[in-house]
Amino acid sequence: MLRVRTAGPLTTVQDLGRAGWAHLGVPRSGALDVPALRRANTLVGNDGSAAALEITLGGLVVTFSADAVVALTGARCPLTVDGVPAAHGAAVGVPAGAELRVNAASTGVRAYLAVAGGVAAEEVLGSRSTDTLSGLGPPRLRDGDTLPIGRQARSEAPIPADPWSAAAELDVAAVRAGYAARCVVEPAIAAEPVLRVFPGPREDWFAADAIEALYASPWTVTSESDRVGARLDGPTLPRLVTGELPSEGMVAGALQVPPSGPVLFLADHPVTGGYPVIGVVHPDDLWGAAQAAPGTTVHFRRENT
């Protein structure tokens, strides 16, 4: 079992989400930074789709009832085990009862803590993901919660008998013991990410100067951003068509433009929306949007194919 001493601002269970239910009104949800989730799972020998903890801005403190091996990826949050610094982007041994602390993020927003065996929260519609919009899946973590850890589904090496003999080198010991004889080089989290955008289905609802402004202007991520979407502050995008739009299907990455300004939909987005979508961010760039903290400047680059 994993016991939560301090949950932090927002910590949820996330895997790759519940695909294939949008026609019934169920969002996909899942990790906002999918590559980071996959990297963390790979480091501890899990399948890349295993459930892990998505930690927003750090602040998580947990203990384990048995010896565990973990990996932290994504946002750069200093990691300690009983006060001893441990490596980011590497397998780390955690003795039973030791306090694992994910401190405040210095760069980025979402960090991913994978545990060998995966977080075995109850599945809902084939996924263990917490959906903050619909309420599906396990609730957000709170102080005092416990979560079960599953059996190791796949491992390229056995768990070492004693990877914690040198407390000052917990992560090095785990790697040297051959549990996960690899570490990853985490991609840089850009200070001003550039996101590729495909023309949206309602681009023709906007004036030419609006389209030019979308790609030429800097946009600031506001504090009114969450797992549903990132609200952006920037120039007004004037419309040619000012009438109402019937609700239509939405996807992650959609840049919807209500009167208050653009919203970039993320994993917990609604499945339909009634405002025009001027563009759609490339799926491979969504992790960069997920790591953009409020106040971050983002830029859009038009992609035609």
pLDDT digits (tens, 9 = 90+) for 246-268: 999 999 999 999 999 999 999 99
pTM comes to 0.90
Q: Which pLDDT band, with edges at 50, 70 and 90, does 13 fall under? A: very high
Domain of residue 39: give its range. 2-176
Pick the last residue of a domain from 176, 209, 233.
176
pLDDT digits (tens, 9 = 90+) for 201-238: 999 999 999 999 999 999 999 999 999 999 999 999 99
| Residues 225, 285 within the same domain | yes
| Residues 165, 228 within the same domain | no
- Over 90: is that where the pLDDT of 152 sits? no
pLDDT, position 154: 44
The SS3 of residue 60 is strand
Residue at 156: amino acid letter:
E
| Residues 79, 153 within the same domain | yes
Per the structure, the count of domains in the chain is 2
| Residues 77, 151 within the same domain | yes
The SS3 of residue 289 is helix
| Residues 153, 200 within the same domain | no
Q: What secondary structure does DSSP assign to 194-257, as a single string?
A: EEEEEEPTTGGGB-HHHHHHHHHS-EEE-SS--SSEEEEE-S---BS--S----EE--TTEEE-
> In whole angstroms, what is the distance from residue 195 CA to residue 299 CA?
6
- Asked if residue 53 lies in contact with residue 12, where contact means CB atoms within 8 angstroms, the answer is yes
Q: Which pLDDT band, with edges at 50, 70 and 90, does 151 fall under? A: confident
Q: Say which DSSP state 123 is in.
A: P
pLDDT digits (tens, 9 = 90+) for 117-148: 999 999 999 999 999 999 999 999 999 999 99
